[in-house]
Chains A and B, each alone.
Chain A
């Protein structure tokens, strides 16, 4: 009986475990190995260089800049998405009619590809010539066209980058918040009303937000991890005709260029990836501790 169970366990789990090992763990370990070698244009290097790749990466201004880009991006996108998706959820939760319709409409962008959305943002909404959508709007008010993605001072490109991701992901987090909102006991609101709490800010501040604590923690954690993984929209919005993004490169875009692009420096690229993985791990563990992940709403 026991043997039979084990067999079925492997029948169902085996293919997945095999794929995971082959396509995730082997490359992972291989990449850690590569990071200690001088690996240019080869995945089977012979020249061991110790920690040289790591020091090269940490001394590289462009890599340090990419970490700064990530910080700025996170500082914009995490609060913006949190506030926007929470407001959407509160609104959708309150409508009495066509709730399913609004829920679907706001969730719909989540089904769109990052690449496609980035191209729409780049070529039609925020292109720099006078007939782009944003510039047409500016023109009605007498403004001069702005080259949104090409202007670093002021850095208008952040507006493009943040809005495209906001549009794409707000609907998904709205669903998470909606689920959280629907789990709040209506009796709490009734009790608050009886105690004289006015609907609106007071109720939101003292009932809704504390009750959403667990959802909020999960949302913030997911948002930060997603920001770390940012690649598609940065690469597609900012790279030039030859596929080189000249600025605002988050870590993955920079590593992609170093290791897999024309650079083909797999040793240094792997060292960067290991450093990045360590940073993600530390930040996530720290954040989970700090926000007390895993506690239920009632503990909050």
Chain B
């Protein structure tokens, strides 16, 4: 009897350990084998074929066995959590890396990989990956957002495609009737998706070149106040079943103009044919210039990887050397602009119609979110913008508070750098 009880306990303990081990081992790394094994993480792309494509690239790499993990859900949170442990990815794509990830030593310096080809990368998005003179992620493909408008609806209302913010406010008002709204900037009224774009359109910026607050200027309050005008005029579509990132509201005729991503272009083209055009966010004021937000997922290497050199070598092979795969990745599935200038110039799909406009906007008016613009700064600004747009809060007062918070946040980031260089 005693024996069997012990046996039972041992079995129970064994099962428990086995379960725990099972929980911890699903990292995509596999175990054993003579070839180096690398785990590579991607977020789930919506376009069909992308997953198979990245599997194909990984399989074609001969120096290591690369296991791709395709991760649905909150990808940023998943990687952030995984980077705290040893069971995270070796190579991963990231909407960053963020300044805190770089300063926290979570990602590896990749400057050497780009030696000689640095100039071939889109400078706006490469600037986002650069900190302290080093490069911390290799841009994979450029994404951008712009304003889609329905030509026929504008023509019927006698409205020209707007080239200034005031014209946009007027156009949205004229295009609004009982069934169709003038403009869709997302269900929150625009605070989330627009971010710093209106500030760039006013000739300002989020963070200056020397790391100061870039919108401590009366022009900022004036421009953001106009966004409230759109809301107050009831020209904005709100509460649509799908948010701004999906072109459904535009395609279903719920709105005459919509802010959306380049990724929606093939679908819009398919459904509307020639009956649409694209615009950058229009300029505002004498110093203003049109602007479009650009950004790129970057390939980064985890500092916790057990095979950092092998991982770097793989990143160099895929995202620097294999331009054929880079071109395939950017253009064959979804619709992105290759991060390499030489590839973007070659791409025939990007040489005519609205796609060519989009490329031109990216080159001429592209503004990437600065690396020093931390999530804390972002949420302070976005909350204020939300109150300005929706509740009609006084833009000057709101901005004063935001400037204070952002300045403190920039100081923190800069002093963290000093502490690091000192130590």
Q: How far is the CB of B359 from chain A (nearest CB, A)?
A: 24
Q: How far is the CB of B380 from chain A (nearest CB, A)?
A: 8
Contact: A62 with B84, CB < 8 Å?
no
Q: Please, how many angstroms separate the alpha-carbon atoms of A18 and B12 in the complex?
A: 12
Total of A-B residue pairs, C-beta within 8 Å: 105
A286 partner residues in chain B, CB cutoff 8 A: none
Q: Which of A42, A124, A144, A246 contacts B383 (CB 8 A)?
A: A246
Q: How far is the CB of A3 from chain B (nearest CB, A)?
A: 11
Beyond the given pairs A15-B16, A40-B104, 9 more chain A to chain B contacts, judged by CB atoms under 8 angstroms and listed by A's residue number, are A11-B8, A11-B9, A128-B238, A153-B391, A240-B187, A240-B188, A241-B192, A246-B382, A260-B80
Contact: A129 with B188, CB < 8 Å?
no
- Given contacts A62-B383, A244-B379, A11 and B239 within 8 Å (CB-CB): no
- Given contacts A128-B240, A147-B239, A261-B77, A42 and B188 within 8 Å (CB-CB): no
- Of A204-212, A213-221, A262-270, the one contacting chain B is A262-270
Q: Please, how many angstroms separate the alpha-carbon atoms of A126 and B240 in the complex?
A: 10
A242 partner residues in chain B, CB cutoff 8 A: 192
Closest 9 A-B residue pairs measured CB to CB?
A: A128-B239, A147-B238, A150-B238, A147-B239, A262-B375, A241-B243, A240-B192, A41-B104, A246-B386
- Given contacts A128-B187, A242-B192, A257-B379, A262 and B76 within 8 Å (CB-CB): yes
Contact: A129 with B192, CB < 8 Å?
no
A57 interfacial contact with B, CB 8 Å: no
In the complex formed, the residue of B with least CB distance to A40 is B100
Contact: A7 with B5, CB < 8 Å?
yes
Give residues 177-217 of B contacting A (CB, 8 Å). 178-179, 186-189, 191-193
A152 interfacial contact with B, CB 8 Å: yes
Contact: B100 with A41, CB < 8 Å?
yes
B74 partner residues in chain A, CB cutoff 8 A: 243
- Given contacts A149-B187, A264-B100, A240 and B390 within 8 Å (CB-CB): no
Q: Please, how many angstroms separate the alpha-carbon atoms of A149 and B239 in the complex?
A: 6
Q: How far is the CB of A119 from chain B (nearest CB, A)?
A: 10
Q: Please, how many angstroms separate the alpha-carbon atoms of A27 and B193 in the complex?
A: 35
B273 partner residues in chain A, CB cutoff 8 A: none
In the complex formed, the residue of A with least CB distance to B186 is A240
Contact: B187 with A150, CB < 8 Å?
yes
Give residues 258-300 of A contacting B (CB, 8 Å). 260-265
Contact: A127 with B77, CB < 8 Å?
no
In the complex formed, the residue of A with least CB distance to B255 is A129
B residues contacting A by CB (< 8 A) are: 5, 8-9, 12, 16, 74, 76-77, 80-81, 83-84, 98, 100-101, 104, 106, 178-179, 186-189, 191-193, 237-241, 243-245, 254, 375-376, 378-379, 382-383, 386, 390-392
Chosen A-B contacts, 9 in total, with CB atoms closer than 8 Å, are: A15-B12, A40-B104, A127-B240, A129-B239, A149-B239, A150-B189, A151-B238, A243-B74, A247-B383
In the complex formed, the residue of A with least CB distance to B231 is A150
A68 partner residues in chain B, CB cutoff 8 A: none
B187 partner residues in chain A, CB cutoff 8 A: 128, 147, 149-150, 240
Q: How far is the CB of A183 from chain B (nearest CB, A)?
A: 41
Q: How far is the CB of B221 from chain A (nearest CB, A)?
A: 19
Q: Please, how many angstroms separate the alpha-carbon atoms of A257 and B80 in the complex?
A: 13
Q: Please, how many angstroms separate the alpha-carbon atoms of A126 and B193 in the complex?
A: 22
In the complex formed, the residue of B with least CB distance to A151 is B238
Contact: B243 with A41, CB < 8 Å?
no
Q: Which of A18, A147, A148, A264 contacts B80 (CB 8 A)?
A: A264
Contact: B16 with A246, CB < 8 Å?
no
- Given contacts A127-B240, A129-B241, A264-B80, A41 and B16 within 8 Å (CB-CB): no
Q: Which of B12, B101, B106 contacts A11 (CB 8 A)?
A: B12
In the complex formed, the residue of B with least CB distance to A43 is B84
Give residues 120-153 of A contacting B (CB, 8 Å). 123-124, 126-130, 132, 144, 147-153
Q: Please, how many angstroms separate the alpha-carbon atoms of A241 and B10 in the complex?
A: 50
A40 partner residues in chain B, CB cutoff 8 A: 100, 104
Q: Please, how many angstroms separate the alpha-carbon atoms of A241 and B191 in the complex?
A: 12
A128 partner residues in chain B, CB cutoff 8 A: 187, 237-240
Give residues 7-62 of A contacting B (CB, 8 Å). 7, 11, 15, 18, 40-43, 62
Contact: B379 with A132, CB < 8 Å?
no
Contact: A18 with B106, CB < 8 Å?
no
Contact: B9 with A62, CB < 8 Å?
no
A153 partner residues in chain B, CB cutoff 8 A: 390-392
Q: How far is the CB of A39 from chain B (nearest CB, A)?
A: 10
Contact: B237 with A129, CB < 8 Å?
yes
- Given contacts A15-B12, A40-B100, A41-B80, A62 and B240 within 8 Å (CB-CB): no
A246 partner residues in chain B, CB cutoff 8 A: 188, 191-192, 382-383, 386
Q: Which of B80, B189, B241, B379 contacts A127 (CB 8 A)?
A: B241
A92-119 vs B: 1/0 string, CB under 8 Å?
Answer: 0000000000000000000000000000
Contact: B375 with A263, CB < 8 Å?
yes
A41 partner residues in chain B, CB cutoff 8 A: 80, 83-84, 100-101, 104, 106
- Given contacts A15-B16, A127-B241, A152-B391, A241 and B383 within 8 Å (CB-CB): no
> Which of A42, A124, A242 has most B Cβ within 10 Å?
A242
In the complex formed, the residue of B with least CB distance to A153 is B391
- Given contacts A130-B179, A261-B375, A150 and B188 within 8 Å (CB-CB): yes
B189 partner residues in chain A, CB cutoff 8 A: 150
B378 partner residues in chain A, CB cutoff 8 A: 262
Q: Please, how many angstroms separate the alpha-carbon atoms of A160 and B77 in the complex?
A: 28
Contact: B84 with A42, CB < 8 Å?
yes
Contact: A263 with B376, CB < 8 Å?
yes
Q: Please, how many angstroms separate the alpha-carbon atoms of A128 and B184 in the complex?
A: 12
Contact: B16 with A127, CB < 8 Å?
no
Q: How far is the CB of A74 from chain B (nearest CB, A)?
A: 23
Q: How far is the CB of A132 from chain B (nearest CB, A)?
A: 7
In the complex formed, the residue of A with least CB distance to B5 is A7
Q: Which of B77, B186, B390 contacts A241 (CB 8 A)?
A: B186
- Given contacts A130-B179, A241-B192, A244-B382, A148 and B245 within 8 Å (CB-CB): no
Q: Please, how many angstroms separate the alpha-carbon atoms of A152 and B12 in the complex?
A: 55
A240 partner residues in chain B, CB cutoff 8 A: 186-188, 192-193, 243
A181-223 vs B: 1/0 string, CB under 8 Å?
Answer: 0000000000000000000000000000000000000000000
Contact: B376 with A265, CB < 8 Å?
yes
Q: How far is the CB of A69 from chain B (nearest CB, A)?
A: 13
In the complex formed, the residue of A with least CB distance to B419 is A47
In the complex formed, the residue of A with least CB distance to B249 is A129
B9 partner residues in chain A, CB cutoff 8 A: 11
